[in-house]
């Protein structure tokens, strides 16, 4: 039985509060304290802080056979039996290729001023090299123009894992330095044609994952399990591709174009914030990222990395390292979880990584361990270790079960919990002067989540993949309020 919207259970609860002299409505003082908690602890984000959202080409575009697009390694991979959990493909995905104008309006509704998206290499060069496909780049020109017309700044990623299948067949993909050079040629071509409107370009997204999952564990395309020496060589070729692409962009883009990587670095956190443990976390960060981010920012592989790799170390030249460390303008960091909690150790390495207990909490995705402090320590380490002056959080977000309620809405309070706590730690970072200039929530809308298919949902907007209807979740309102306040809501 219900009484004017109150269930019997809720009525009893209110009655119980009254017995103890507790009002069902919080006091004005309590409400003010709650609303001002984050502000009391940390200063607001900087006035020019850039709030954005993100997607990637293969995960949302669909239209894999339209307008001259060539096949990618993910097209091949998703059509192999047993590779994707729900046996789905991204042949249609979110149909963003045809619905991009409506999706731009979703970004605008959030109040976000930036959108990070990727360009599909096989749309522009169907064979990876050779004759470009003008219709492929035309789509991205239309998207960029639509964003700018709505006051949204485009941030472009050149490689978000969709390697042209032709390069995989011809060279073995990233197993060959020929692919590194092909990537640079593609990067220079695109930069020359979009840098009149696009001022910020990310080279490669998540080297760490694309190498290990694609060439080590085989859970991502191209689905290989190589010996460790070959994995290290693949990583070197990806790093080289980044460096050569930076050089190509400098040579072909308009003056003032900014460029950098977007990496899911190994995030090392002091288990207890003592000076010794903080230093241990810094040492661990440098070593655990030695194969890519450290090499980019220092121009060398660390002695520890080469000693640990031994005979499995990659083959490289001084010219390679010079290219890899070509000067960059910013570092993008994809921050989801802590990779290691560390303490100071007397083991000769200066740090000791601690094991994760079986009870350590995680989100809907089992791999996504909850550790909001990762959002503070990741940019702090990058700024402190390598004197980086410009950092973007290029991805952060979480999957959630996202069940439709009886009123047709999605009250994803778990996602809000996750975002609120991570953003509080980011607000801590910027209040201390750590140079984070912007944040891109992952993701704008539910999409094809690689080997998870459509089983995991990360979006602020729910997508019905049968009808392509987009519906805002409660987290969209939360993020909208964060953007409006320029502070944690």
Q: Which residues contact 101 (CB under 8 A, 6 or more apart)?
A: 146
Answer whether 329's CB lies under 8 Å from 258's CB. Answer: yes
* DSSP H/E element including 245: helix 228-252
Number of H helices, E strands in the chain: 19, 15
Nearest to 426 by CA among 414, 441, 415: 441
* Candidates 127, 153, 282, 395; catalytic one: 395
Q: What share of the chain is helix, strand, coil (3-state, %, to 5)?
A: 45, 15, 40
Q: Could you count the other beta carbons within 10 Å of the beta carbon of residue 21?
A: 6
User: In Å, what is the CA distance from 439 to each residue of 21, 160, 321, 447?
Assistant: 44, 18, 30, 20
DSSP 44-93: PPPTT-EEEEE--HHHH---TTSTTPPPBHHHHHHTSTTSSTT---SSST
Q: Mark 457-489 as b/e (b = at least 16 C-beta within 10 Å).
A: bbbbbbbeeeebebbbbbbbebbbebbeeebbb
Show the tokens assigned to 74.
Answer: 């993910």
395 is annotated as an active-site residue:
yes
* Candidates 153, 206, 266, 449; catalytic one: 206
Q: Which residues contact 469 (CB under 8 A, 6 or more apart)?
A: 463
206 is annotated as an active-site residue:
yes
Sign of the four-CA dihedral 85, 86, 92, 96? negative
Q: Determine the 3-state secondary structure of 422 from DSSP.
A: helix
Nearest to 115 by CA among 143, 87, 91: 143
**Chain-centre distance for alpha carbon 450:** 13
Which positions are annotated as active-site residues? 206, 395
């Amino acid at each position: 039985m219900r009484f004017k919207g109150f269930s019997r259970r809720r009525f009893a609860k209110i009655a119980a509060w009254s017995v103890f002299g507790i009002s069902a409505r919080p006091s004005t003082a309590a409400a003010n304290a709650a609303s001002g908690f984050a502000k009391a602890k940390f200063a607001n984000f900087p006035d020019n802080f850039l709030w954005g959202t993100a997607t990637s080409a293969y995960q949302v575009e669909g239209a894999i056979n339209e307008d001259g697009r060539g096949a990618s390694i993910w097209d091949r991979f998703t059509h192999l039996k047993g590779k994707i959990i729900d046996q789905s493909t991204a042949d249609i995905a979110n149909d963003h290729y045809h619905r991009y104008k409506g999706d731009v309006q979703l970004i605008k509704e959030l109040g976000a001023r930036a959108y990070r998206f990727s360009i599909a290499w096989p749309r522009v060069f169907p064979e990876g090299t050779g004759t470009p496909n003008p219709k492929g780049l035309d789509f991205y020109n239309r998207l960029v123009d639509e964003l700018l017309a709505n006051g949204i700044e485009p941030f472009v990623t050149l490689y978000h894992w969709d390697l042209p299948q032709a390069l995989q067949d011809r060279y073995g993909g990233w197993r060959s330095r020929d692919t590194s050079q092909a990537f640079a040629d593609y990067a220079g071509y695109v930069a020359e044609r979009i840098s009149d409107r696009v001022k910020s370009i990310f080279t490669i997204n998540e080297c760490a994952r694309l190498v290990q999952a694609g060439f080590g564990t085989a859970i991502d395309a191209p689905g290989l399990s190589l010996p460790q020496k070959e994995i290290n060589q693949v990583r070197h070729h990806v790093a080289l591709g980044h460096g050569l692409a930076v050089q190509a962009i400098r040579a072909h883009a308009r003056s003032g174009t900014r460029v950098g990587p977007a990496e899911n670095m190994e995030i090392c956190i002091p288990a207890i914030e003592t000076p010794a443990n903080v230093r241990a976390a810094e040492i661990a960060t440098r070593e655990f990222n030695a194969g890519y981010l450290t090499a980019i920012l220092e121009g060398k592989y660390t002695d520890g990395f080469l000693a640990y790799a031994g005979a499995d170390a990659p083959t490289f030249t001084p010219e390679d390292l010079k290219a890899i460390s070509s000067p960059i303008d910013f570092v993008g960091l994809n921050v989801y979880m802590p990779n290691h909690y560390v303490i100071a150790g007397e083991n000769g390495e200066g740090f000791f990584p601690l094991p994760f207990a079986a009870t350590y909490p995680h989100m809907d995705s089992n791999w996504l361990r909850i550790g909001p402090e990762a959002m503070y320590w990741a940019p702090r380490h990058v700024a402190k270790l390598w004197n980086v002056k410009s950092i973007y959080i290029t991805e952060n977000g979480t999957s959630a079960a996202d069940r439709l309620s009886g009123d047709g809405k999605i009250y994803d309070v778990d996602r809000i919990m996750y975002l609120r706590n991570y953003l509080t730690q980011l607000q801590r970072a910027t209040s201390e002067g750590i140079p984070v200039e912007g944040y891109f929530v992952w993701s704008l809308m539910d999409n094809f989540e690689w080997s998870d298919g459509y089983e995991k949902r990360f979006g602020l907007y729910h997508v019905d993949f049968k009808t392509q209807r987009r519906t805002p979740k409660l987290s969209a309102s939360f993020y909208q309020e964060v953007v409006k306040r320029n502070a944690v809501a």
